[in-house]
Amino acid sequence: MGLSLAGVVGAAIGLYLGWIDYKLTAGYVRAWVRKRKPGQEAPFADWLERNTDTVLGVLFVIAMLGFPVIGYLMGTTLVG
């Protein structure tokens, strides 16, 4: 089983889309954490504020691995 050109192109496009998705989502999460007032009742928000770097790291790994895999599979399935 070899690599198909369509799959590699799909993976490259998926990698690019994953990077864009990560940047948008990370920016949204960082802005939400900064904008939140400390007195608000939101247990999840307190947890997210303490673990922002870990959450963004997991999000980065998922985006950089998941999108290229999906792109590769879409490329090989649709084009061959």
> In this predicted structure, what is the pLDDT of residue 39?
66
pLDDT tens column, 3-62: 889 999 999 999 999 999 999 999 999 998 888 776 666 777 788 888 999 999 999 999
> In this predicted structure, what is the pLDDT of residue 12?
96
State yes or no: pLDDT of 1 exceeds 80. no
> In this predicted structure, what is the pLDDT of residue 26?
95
Buried b (16+ CB within 10 A) or exposed e, 25-60: ebeeeeeeeeeeeeeeeeeeeeebeeebeebeeeeb
> In this predicted structure, what is the pLDDT of residue 5?
92
Query: What does the domain layout of the chain look like in residue ranges?
Result: 5-78
User: How far is residue 26 CA from its own chain's centroid?
Assistant: 8
The helix (run of H) or strand (run of E) holding residue 41 is none
